[in-house]
Amino acid sequence: MPIRQFQAQRMHAPRDFKSIAPEPICVEIGAGKGKHALLFSQNNPEQKLIAVERTREKFIAMQKQHAIEGQTNLQTVHADALPWVVHALYPAQVEQFFILYPNPEPHNPAQRWANMPFFEFLLSRLKTGGTITLASNIPEYIDEAEQQVKDLWNLPYVKEVIAQDSARTHFEIKYLERGELCQQLIIRKPEGYATRFDDFQPLQGQNSVASE
């Protein structure tokens, strides 16, 4: 059954929104205290990463650590990811999205990433050959996302067990130390893949919603 269309034009800009240049970037959604973002930008100096975090305390912790480490290829953003993506990102701009250990939304399956109409918009921002890395310590979450990626979104992917010594995020360290199975899907956008948002340009901070 086709998923309902995401209403991108209804998204209000995040507070203190700043637009970005239409250059190739990587984006981490729900970056937490920034452990992965700081590691990635340190290890990949030729790639620019924007790390988006909604929770104020976690964002401040990430900002402080970034100020200490000083990676020039990392930009931190305090915002809700959905409106930020709609207002900031250009079609086929993103090389990699990282969504590492998102809230599993146990009581609201419609808010899980691969179930959301917004996922189609996210795919429109991904360049051909670009990837989305979705990691979780909950087998049912990964199994459901895998099913959706296959049956609903028709995307190629790789499913991996995350190595015991991996330490990308604070959550990952904690889960692996507890002996939990951590897995990830690396979802790729193939040549010729089309979405209904391929021509949708960023709203660049406009606060008005489109009329019906």
Total number of residues shown for the chain: 212
Predicted confidence at residue 206, as pLDDT, reads 66
Predicted confidence at residue 203, as pLDDT, reads 79
Integer CA distances (angstroms), 83 to 94, 146, 170, 201, in order = 16, 25, 26, 13
3-state secondary structure of 201: coil
Question: Which pLDDT tens digit goes with each residue over 93-107?
Answer: 999 999 999 999 999
What does DSSP assign to residue 209? P
88: closest CA among 125, 132, 49?
Answer: 125
Instruction: Read off the tokens for 140.
Output: 């049912």
Domains in the chain with CATH codes: 24-88 (3.40.50.150), 112-192 (no CATH)
What does DSSP assign to residue 123? H
pTM: 0.94
Predicted confidence at residue 204, as pLDDT, reads 75
Averaged pLDDT, 126-141: 98
Q: Is the dihedral of CA 22, 81, 188, 149 positive or negative?
A: negative
Which has more confidence, 8 or 100?
A: 100
Predicted confidence at residue 162, as pLDDT, reads 98
Question: Which pLDDT tens digit goes with each residue over 37-61?
Answer: 999 999 999 999 999 999 999 999 9
- The answer to whether residues 75 and 49 touch, using CB atoms and an 8 Å cutoff, is yes
Q: Provide the mean pLDDT of the chain.
A: 93
- The answer to whether residues 83 and 11 touch, using CB atoms and an 8 Å cutoff, is yes
- The answer to whether residues 149 and 187 touch, using CB atoms and an 8 Å cutoff, is yes
Predicted confidence at residue 4, as pLDDT, reads 79
